[in-house]
């Protein structure tokens, strides 16, 4: 049986490290920062750990809203678009690379996340 991407990346410790570094990048980016200014970032980090774990095939049960519902207000009121999605995906890619994740696994993770674009952007 083939291990999940979640397991091959390093499981929960790797996801936790990635999410923390990822949000430093997202908050530090003028393009993506406005989408996070009014959020409880402690709660957001926990949601993202659960979401990312589930998205990469982990055993964690994600109990948040679906992607379309969770991002609908950002699309409608703040203009969340492909450029923002690309920036966030880029921050995730850079984060995984900085953590020493093998390029093939980084590519697999980004492909998985890219498959969620239309739901995030409400299309």
DSSP string, 2-58: PPPHHHHHTHHHHHHHHHHHHHHHHHH-TTTGGGTTTS-HHHHHHHHHHHHHHHTT-
CA 39 to chain centre: 15
Domain that holds residue 46: 9-120
CATH of the domain at 58: 1.10.490.10
No. of H helices and E strands in the chain?
Answer: 7, 0
Q: Residue 70: inside a domain, yes or no?
A: yes
Q: Residue 4: inside a domain, yes or no?
A: no
Spell out the residues 6+ positions from residue 121 whose beta carbon is closer than 8 angstroms to its own.
Answer: 71, 75, 80, 81, 82, 85
Highest-pLDDT range among 47-56, 62-71, 72-81? 72-81
Highest-pLDDT range among 43-52, 54-63, 70-79, 89-98? 89-98
pLDDT at 34: 94
Which of the 8 DSSP states describes residue 115?
T
Q: Residue 90: inside a domain, yes or no?
A: yes
Q: Residue 49: inside a domain, yes or no?
A: yes
- 62 has pLDDT over 70: no
CA atoms within 13 A on the CB side of 62: 19
Q: Residue 1: inside a domain, yes or no?
A: no
Number of domains in the chain: 1
Task: Give the pLDDT mean for 107-111.
Answer: 93
Q: Residue 3: inside a domain, yes or no?
A: no
pLDDT at 33: 94
């Amino acid at each position: 049986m083939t291990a999940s991407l979640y397991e091959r990346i390093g499981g929960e410790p790797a996801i936790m490290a990635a999410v923390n570094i990822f949000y430093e990048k997202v908050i530090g980016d003028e393009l993506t920062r406005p989408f996070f200014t009014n959020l409880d970032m402690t709660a957001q980090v926990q949601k993202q750990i659960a979401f990312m774990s589930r998205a990469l095939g982990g055993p964690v049960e994600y109990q948040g809203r679906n992607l379309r519902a969770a991002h609908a207000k950002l699309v409608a009121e703040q203009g969340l678009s492909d450029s923002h999605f690309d920036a966030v995906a880029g921050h995730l890619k850079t984060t995984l690379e900085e953590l020493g994740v093998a390029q093939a696994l980084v590519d697999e993770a980004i492909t998985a996340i890219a498959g969620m674009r239309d739901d995030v952007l409400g299309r």
